[in-house]
Amino acid sequence: MPELNHYLLLSVLLFGLGLTGVLVRRNVLIVLMCIELMLNSANLLLVAFSRQGGGLDGQAFAFFSMTVAAAEVALGLAIVVLLYRWHGSTSLEHLRLVPSQPEEGR
């Protein structure tokens, strides 16, 4: 029988993976996916705690979190499409949203 500790460990590992991806990867699509990984690890923990404590509050929180995540993905991918149109790639490497020198601004 898996205990709460095991779910804690799994969730922390998954969150760490997602965080590493957000910090390390330079493809904006993969960064979005890593944010999804982190959200999912939090959801898993919510459900595990809900199981431990009894009651359905944790599951309800996870449910709402999924809803927000779905909205976030829709908007995030719309921004990715805009970014690609404007910048021509999905790389964050040379992306600069704010001009470094204001007098150069177009």
Partner 1 sequence: MRPLLFILLSLLTLGGGLWVVLRRSPVDSVLGLLTVMVSIAGHYMLLQAPFLAAVQLIVYGGAVIVLFLFVIMLLNLRKDVLQARRLPAGRWFYALSGAAALLALSGLFRAGADWLPAAGLPQDGTVEAFGAELFRRWVYPFELTSVLLLAALVGAVALTRRAGEPGATATDEEA
Q: Cβ–Cβ contacts within 10 Å for residue 101, how many?
A: 6
- 45 touches partner 1 (CB under 8 A): no
Question: Of the candidates 8, 42, 51, 92, which one interacts with partner 1 according to CB under 8 A?
Answer: 51
- In the complex, the smallest distance separating the C-beta of residue 25 from partner 1, rounded to whole angstroms, is 7
* Whole-number Å distance between alpha carbons of 11 and 28: 23
Give me the DSSP letters along 6-68.
HHHHHHHHHHHHHHHHHHH--BHHHHHHHHHHHHHHHHHHHHHHHHHH-SSHHHHHHHHHHHH
User: Is position 43 an interface residue for partner 1 (rule: CB under 8 A)?
Assistant: yes
Q: Give residues in contact with partner 1 (CB under 8 A).
A: 1-2, 6-7, 10, 13-14, 17-18, 20-21, 24-25, 27, 29-30, 32-34, 36-37, 40, 43-44, 47-48, 50-51, 54-56, 59-60, 62-64, 66-75, 77-82, 84, 90
